[in-house]
Structure formats: structure tokens, C-alpha cells
Amino acid sequence: MSEIEPSILLFAGRFTVRGSCSYSLRLAEHLPMQGMRSVIVCPDARRVEPERRRELQIREFSHLQLPIWGCVVVRMMLRQLKLEPPDLIHIQSRNVAQQGMWLARELKRPYVLTVHDYLQASERFVVDRRWCQRIIAVSESVKSDLQKRAGLPGDLISVIHSGVDTLDKVDATTVLKASRVPVVGTAGPLEAVKGFPFFLGAAARVLATGRDVEFVIAGAGPEESNLRRLARELKIDSHVTFSPNLLEFSDALSATDIFCLPSLQQGIGTIMLEAMSKGRPVIASRVGGVDQVVRDGETGLLVPPSNSESLANRILELLDDPAKAREMGRAARIEVARDFSVDQMVSKTVAVYREILEAKSASREPVLARR
């Protein structure tokens, strides 16, 4: 390979309040430190600060994901990219996979696809085996799902956990501080699969014990109005705060004492990792890749999915034992710093890029994906 820095096209969807969007931003921020140039293309980055959009070279192509007009937009994008084609395309999620694959074929460039979650019941998932050189799964459980449901060979799939920024110092004494009202929070895209009604059900049970506790739901999405209505029906809306206008959750997570992940399905739980990196004790549904992160009773607490009673009982357990909650948060922070840092995620991803680019350089054409 030449000494010129390889260029990576990060092909992303609309930037919203979800872990996969943070994944793209963190890759773009850290790739230059690994000797890689990158540009993000997406249909909408309005939630990203203007200065950050410029620094990360985010290029917006409005209407990219619309059914008919999107075909026109992606062809316009193709004409622009042909002027200076990337060395490799990294498709950031399944919801833009078809357009990203088409772009790779037209540009004759190898691509990598990251899969953050599980295939839907009726979903047909097919990759172009000439240009697809690797699939990155965020957890072993996502990899297993792809092998079982899509029939993909294991050696095509690399497991690279999503990474989060880890702080050098965290003041764990603020967790469940006796001088203030405790805050129990959750965060993510407000979608049915995230299980937020069960979080509100648990909140109602906790408040029914007479404790003074505040609850926070940070995120936006199609279920927001339903969740607000449920909070009113449960007569807990005066104790529940919704924070919908966020792209990243750092401030919201810092304001919580206990973080809950009530998901019904979960690839790995990037926002949960962020909470753990801040030394917050977590209570999470035992689904998907969550138990690859949370060791029950050590780095967090696990509960059955769809079970408000169990979730409420574990919240009460931590509220009644602040010292245990702080120790659990401390252990969680150590775990994340060791195994789920951004630096590890980026270095492993770059290793995949280099393997592909070196093979391409040696053969002068993309190698066939390994069988």
C-alpha cells in the first residue's frame, strides 16, 4: 500500500438518539489518529452541532432514504464520489445497507457492514459476497443471529464491541447522595422494542412504596406520546421527566443515580455502557448481548424482560443500599474501561480495514470474502 492515508467513507443513516449514531461519530473522530481519512455521508445531521459537522466532514444528502426520491439522490452522490472515490466503504447500519451496497458496486469498492441488532422475523438479509469483505457484529449474540437467520459463514463476521469514552476520574460519592432526591433514568430511541412501558410500570411500583424518587426518560421516537400518556394514566407524570431533544446522553446520564435498560431485544447496549463508564449502577434486561457486559450482582443487576415487578424490586434494592450501588458502579466503570473503550473499538475496526485494503492492494481487485 502507498504512504497516502487510506480514505474511508462512513455511510450512515439519519442522526437520531441511538447508540449506532454515536458509533459513527466516534469512529470519525478517532480514525485520523490511526492514519485514516474519513468522511460521513448521511441524509440528515441536523442534531449534530454545526462545528462538529465541519470537523468530521459530514456531508448531508437530503431525502436519501425516501423510497423514490432516494434513488435520484444516491445517483447524485455517486457522481460526486466518482471524482474522488474512497478506498473502502463502511456501511454503518442495516437500515442503509441496500443503498450502501449499491454504491460499493458502482464504485467497485470493498465494503464493511456493521450490524447493531437482530434481524426482524420476516427480514431477508443478503450481502453482495463479491464486495462485502467483512460484517462487524457488536456482540457474539448478534453474530450468532446472523449465522443462524441469514446463513452467513462465521469467518465473514468479526465481533467488535461498541466502545465508549472512559473518564480518568469519576466522583462515585455523588451516586445516591443522601442530601438529594435519587434519580432513576433510562435512555434511547423511544421505540416499542426498548421496553420503556415496563420502566414506567416499575416507577409506579417504586413510588407506591412512598419513596421520593424522580425518573427520567431521555430520548425521542415514535412511542413518546404513548409513554407520556401511560405516565399520566399511572398517575406518576409529576415524577417523570422526558428529555427528547438530545443526540448524546452524557448530561442526562450524569444526572442519574441508577440507570435502567428495560429492552426486549438488545445487541449490546451502547448507552448502558456510557452509564457504566460514569460509574452508575445499571439494571438491565437479560436479553441479547447484555449479559456479555453485565455480571449480575457484580457490575450490575439483571432482570427478566417485560417484568416491571422484578425491575422495581431491583431499583428498591439499590435505593436501600447506596454503598452497594456505588461499589457496583465502580466495578462497572473498571469493566468498561478495560473491555469496551473507544480506543479498542477503533483499533480493532482499523485492523479490519487494513486487512481488506492490503488484500485489495496485493490483488489489484477485491478479494472474495472467505468461505
86 falls within a domain: yes
371 falls within a domain: no
Bridge partners for 60 per DSSP: 42
Give the torsion through C-alpha atoms of 353, 274, 60, 349, to 10 deg. Answer: 0
22 falls within a domain: yes
370 falls within a domain: no
Which residue has 437467520 as its cell numbers?
149
Q: Report the candidate in 64, 45, 65 with the shortest Cα–Cα distance to residue 55.
A: 45
Identify the burial level of 348 via C-beta atoms within 10 angstroms of its C-beta, where 0-12 means exposed, 13-18 middle and 19 or more buried: middle
Clarify whether residues 352 and 299 are in a common domain. Answer: no
Clarify whether residues 143 and 196 are in a common domain. Answer: no
368 falls within a domain: no
Yes or no: say if 33 and 114 are a contact pair by the CB < 8 Å rule: no
pTM for this one? Answer: 0.90
Clarify whether residues 302 and 255 are in a common domain. Answer: yes
Clarify whether residues 229 and 311 are in a common domain. Answer: yes
197 falls within a domain: yes
Total domains, the chain: 2
Clarify whether residues 181 and 221 are in a common domain. Answer: yes
Residue 1: per-residue pLDDT:
43
Clarify whether residues 261 and 238 are in a common domain. Answer: yes
Clarify whether residues 346 and 270 are in a common domain. Answer: no
Clarify whether residues 39 and 68 are in a common domain. Answer: yes
Cell numbers describing residue 146 = 446472523
Bridge partners for 99 per DSSP: none
Residue 366: per-residue pLDDT:
53
Q: Residue 319 belongs to what domain range?
A: 172-339
Q: Assign residue 305 the CATH number of its domain.
A: 3.40.50.2000
Residue 3: per-residue pLDDT:
62
Residue 4: per-residue pLDDT:
80
In the chain, the DSSP E strands lie at 7-11, 37-42, 58-60, 88-91, 111-115, 132-137, 157-159, 183-187, 214-218, 240-243, 258-261, 282-285, 301-303
82 falls within a domain: yes
Clarify whether residues 71 and 176 are in a common domain. Answer: no
Clarify whether residues 119 and 239 are in a common domain. Answer: no
- Express each pLDDT in 15-57 by its tens digit: 886 778 889 999 999 999 999 999 999 999 988 889 999 999 9
369 falls within a domain: no
Clarify whether residues 244 and 156 are in a common domain. Answer: no
- Express each pLDDT in 315-364 by its tens digit: 999 999 999 999 999 999 999 999 999 999 999 999 999 999 999 887 76
Clarify whether residues 206 and 250 are in a common domain. Answer: yes
- Residue length, the chain? 371
The residue ranges of the chain whose pLDDT is under 70 are 1-3, 17, 168, 246-247, 364-371
